[in-house]
Amino acid sequence: DGGITQSPKYLFRKEGQNVTLSCEQNLNHDAMYWYRQDPGQGLRLIYYSQIVNDFQKGDIAEGYSVSREKKESFPLTVTSAQKNPTAFYLCASSISAENYGYTFGSGTRLTVV
């Protein structure tokens, strides 16, 4: 079955460490997105990519980095510069310019300890 796989489901990080969240899709979607969700809040866009080797900053990109070396993969690195990284992270993909919904992964819950 096609879909988006995010791993790990839970991640614990020590302060000052970088961590990388994985997002892989086998839907042949061109566009991929990373969102952050804080408790009781909506989703905020971190980074997005429309094509391989190209990506754009979203609304809250500071302290994060991404790469898009393959169409299927869009890993997110939470750097030590991100002051409050504890949150729920969701990856999504879509066929650009199509009208139907985006497909989301099941999320990674990151906790700084």
List residues binding another protein (CB under 8 A): 31, 33, 35, 40-45, 48, 50, 56, 58, 88, 90, 92, 94, 96-97, 99-104, 106-107, 109
CB of 41 to another protein, least distance (A): 6
Q: Is 66 exposed, middle or buried (0-12, 13-18, 19+ CB in 10 A)?
A: buried
Q: Which residues contact 29 (CB under 8 A, 6 or more apart)?
A: 93, 94, 95, 103
Identity of the residue, 23 or 92, whose beta carbon is nearer to another protein in the bound complex: 92
Identity of the residue, 13 or 109, whose beta carbon is nearer to another protein in the bound complex: 109
